[in-house]
């Protein structure tokens, strides 16, 4: 009975924090910790300091890249590709946003691309909902493919010290060898399905009625949105190459442990490698591009990253305190179920992700519990894509942005809320990525 009351309190805290959004999720987690410790006398769990430090290093490097203008170079290159092949935008747009997230470690790059995707689609007569909904889904799916995303570095840090059935620990490259093919397959499925969704604009009576109003027609087609007219200085290109170079170095060191220093008889942990090279990349960009410190702390990557960091802090500390006190009972009840039905872990992760609206926070909350009840690290890696479940309801900022940027009105929230433009692409994308991930983990002998 006591466990049930405590679980209700934890869920209520998560629900209230998620509704308020932003920093509230982490702050409300602190309230949960106070209630559990002072109200029920629980022993405090350990905040995920190692995970948070990795996140902090990655966030700082990404924010420095944005402040230097290096991110603008990537966005401009992406637009050139899309405008060169407008007929294939339903496939190319989501693959582009997936790639940008892979390179930058954040799905927030999609905001700049959405008006460009809309402009290309509507002028080519393509139903904007098709590439726009697919692109927002793909941008978020890309988070688990990026070696510098909060979710990936957090997962590597949490699985550090936990051997798989082959006796080895999961490294960064092995994780990406599961998540990258899975995400690409998922996005391709979403793109193919999206080609046939909804009516073509010429057959959409609702859209055609709007065009009869000259003012509405002018609003729908608007002015060209483009980054191509921007002349970007060489320093911005240099910043981009420095950042990509750091990613390459991290990937190489992850693939070849013998290249890392030997500390106490073991290769230096990738947890430290990621922190070192991300901070170093940020420092070099800072000097080369002559970045202003105030531009780093005020940009979108830094702000959204710090929100994710605080969310992970509060949520993970609360759940570690709560479930750590009952780990014996949880292991007895859930251990056998998850061992027999590995997909049960994925379902739980998807639902928690929706509740907390953060892939990093969902992993921080669930992975330690999963490890404690005996879920194999290989299974956790196989279903990494399942940490993205907040497409279930159209409340995430990128989904709302897509609805706002689509002036044709084709990207929308349905009459019953759940029947919105993102639900089917999300299910298809994450479902495919998780299935492919599981198959690959089997092939690699990780499960």
pLDDT per position as a tens digit, 309-348: 887 788 878 877 887 777 666 666 666 677 678 888 899 8
Indicate if the pLDDT at residue 418 is higher than 70.
yes
Question: pTM for the full model?
Answer: 0.77
pLDDT of residue 235: 94
Mean pLDDT of the chain: 86
Report the percent of the chain where pLDDT is more than 70. 96
**Residue partners of 241: CB distance under 8 A and separation at least 6:** none
CA-based nearest residue to 313, from 356, 352, 277, 272: 356
Higher-scoring residue by pLDDT: 50, 37: 37
pLDDT band at 137 (very low <50, low <70, confident <90, very high): very high
Question: How many whole angstroms separate alpha carbon 204 and alpha carbon 411?
Answer: 13
- Using DSSP's 3-state secondary structure scheme, residue 441 falls into helix
**Structure token digits, residue 444:** 């690699």
CA-based nearest residue to 175, from 377, 12, 39, 363: 377
Q: What is the CA radius of gyration of the chain?
A: 22
pLDDT of residue 62: 84
φ, ψ of residue 267 in degrees (nearest 5): -65, 140
pLDDT of residue 32: 92
pLDDT of residue 225: 66
Please give the average per-residue pLDDT across 378-389, as a whole number: 94
pLDDT of residue 331: 63
Report pLDDT digits (tens) over 218-269. 888 877 667 777 888 999 999 999 988 988 888 788 778 788 899 888 888 7
pLDDT of residue 422: 94
Cβ-contact 210, 409 below 8 angstroms = yes
Task: With both helix axes pointing from N to C terminus, report the angle between 359-372 and 343-356 in degrees, rounded to the nearest 10.
Answer: 140
**Structure token digits, residue 433:** 């990525």
Please give the average per-residue pLDDT across 175-186, as a whole number: 96
Higher-scoring residue by pLDDT: 136, 48: 136
CA-based nearest residue to 256, from 243, 272, 264, 267: 267
- At residue 399's C-alpha, the angle toward residues 356 and 186, to 5°, is 85
DSSP bridge partners of 267 = 262
Please give the average per-residue pLDDT across 265-292, as a whole number: 89
Question: How many whole angstroms separate alpha carbon 321 and alpha carbon 325?
Answer: 6
Distances (CA, A) of 367 to 69, 153, 212, 405, 413: 35, 13, 54, 36, 32
């Amino acid at each position: 009975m006591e466990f049930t009351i405590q679980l209700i309190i934890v869920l209520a805290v998560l629900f209230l924090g998620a509704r308020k959004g932003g920093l509230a999720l982490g702050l409300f987690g602190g309230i949960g910790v106070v209630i559990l410790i002072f109200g029920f006398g629980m022993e405090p769990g350990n905040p995920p300091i190692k995970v948070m430090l990795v996140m902090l290093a990655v966030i700082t490097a990404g924010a420095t890249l944005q402040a230097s203008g290096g991110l603008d170079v990537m966005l401009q290159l992406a637009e050139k590709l899309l405008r060169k092949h407008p007929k294939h935008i339903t496939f190319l747009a989501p693959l582009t946003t997936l790639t940008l997230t892979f390179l930058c470690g954040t799905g927030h790059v999609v905001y700049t691309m959405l008006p460009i995707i809309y402009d290309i689609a509507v002028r080519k007569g393509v139903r904007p909902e098709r590439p726009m909904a697919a692109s927002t889904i793909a941008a978020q799916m890309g988070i688990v493919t990026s070696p510098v995303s909060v979710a990936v570095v957090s997962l590597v840090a949490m699985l550090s010290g936990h051997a798989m059935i082959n006796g080895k620990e999961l490294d960064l490259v092995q994780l990406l060898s599961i998540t990258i093919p899975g995400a690409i397959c998922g996005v391709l499925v979403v793109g193919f399905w999206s080609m046939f969704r909804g009516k073509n604009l010429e057959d959409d009576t609702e859209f055609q009625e709007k065009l009869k109003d000259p003012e509405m027609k002018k609003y729908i087609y608007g002015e060209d949105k483009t980054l191509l007219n921007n002349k970007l200085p060489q320093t911005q290109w240099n910043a981009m190459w420095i950042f990509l170079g750091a990613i390459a170095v991290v990937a190489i060191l992850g693939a070849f442990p013998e290249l890392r220093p030997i500390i106490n008889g073991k290769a230096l942990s990738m947890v430290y490698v990621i922190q070192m090279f991300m901070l170093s990349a940020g420092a070099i960009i800072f000097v080369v591009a002559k970045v202003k410190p105030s531009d780093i702390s005020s940009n979108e990557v830094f702000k959204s990253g710090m929100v994710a960091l605080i969310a992970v802090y509060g949520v993970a500390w609360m759940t570690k305190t709560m479930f750590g006190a009952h780990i014996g009972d949880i292991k007895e009840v859930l251990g056998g179920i998850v061992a027999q039905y590995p997909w049960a872990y994925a379902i739980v992760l998807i639902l928690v992700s929706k509740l907390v609206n953060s892939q990093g926070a969902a992993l921080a909350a669930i992975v330690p519990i999963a490890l404690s009840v005996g879920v194999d690290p290989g299974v956790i890696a196989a279903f990494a894509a399942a940490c993205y479940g907040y497409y279930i309801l159209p409340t995430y900022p990128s989904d709302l942005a897509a609805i706002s940027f689509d002036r044709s009105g084709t990207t929308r929230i349905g009459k019953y809320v759940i029947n919105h433009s993102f639900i089917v692409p999300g299910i298809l994308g994450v479902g495919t990525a998780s299935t492919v991930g599981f198959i690959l983990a089997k092939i690699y002998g990780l499960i």
